[in-house]
Amino acid sequence: MRMHPITVIEILMALGLLLLILGVGYFLPLRRRKTAIKVVLIVLVLELAFFGIRPLWIDYHRGIKTDQLTEYLEKRYPGEDFEISYRTSRSYNPYHLEVRFASEPGWSYAYSVNEDEIKQVDIGVPDAELPEEGVHYEDLGD
């Protein structure tokens, strides 16, 4: 299994924090060591919860943002058929959604969905085409 470098860094930082607390706890008096062990256990549970809950949190919010983008696109481009997807790599923002319209094969449009704003942030263009030639191009400078 191959992990993304960002994931490796996060895991190493989490382990480093645990080792730091254990190291400090080793030099404490015996009464305080028990407290240090409790702190290590609490931090361990919090870290496991972070790594376990974060993917579910992202999926939940991505679903909400997909619904918001669908509503936005249906209003902006009535009658258009489109497909919304997302990239799963850690290199990409999990909340940037990619849209492909049936009427424009080969083109892809990335949208960023925030609480109060939906904005086109990137365009995938077929060879020998300019972004401005896209039927669904929205000026990225807005």
Secondary structure (DSSP) of the chain: ----HHHHHHHHHHHHHHHHHHHHHHTS-HHHHHHHHHHHHHHHHHHHHHHHHHHHHHHHHHHHHHHHHHHHHHHHSTT--EEEEE--STTS-TTEEEEEETTSTT-EEEEEE-SS-EEEEEEE--TT--GGG-TT---TT-
Which range marks the domain in which residue 125 is found?
57-133
Task: Note whether 105 and 47 are same-domain residues.
Answer: no
Q: How many structural domains are present in the chain?
A: 2
Residue 98 near residue 85 (C-beta atoms within 8 A): yes
State percent of the chain over pLDDT 90.
39
Q: Is the pLDDT reported for residue 88 higher than 80?
A: no
The pLDDT assigned to 34 comes to 86
Residue 70 near residue 63 (C-beta atoms within 8 A): no
Task: Note whether 110 and 78 are same-domain residues.
Answer: yes
The pLDDT assigned to 134 comes to 82
Task: Note whether 42 and 70 are same-domain residues.
Answer: no
Per the model's pLDDT, the better-predicted residue between 38 and 142 turns out to be 38
The pLDDT assigned to 141 comes to 60
CATH number at residue 119: 3.10.450
Residue 127 falls inside a structural domain: yes
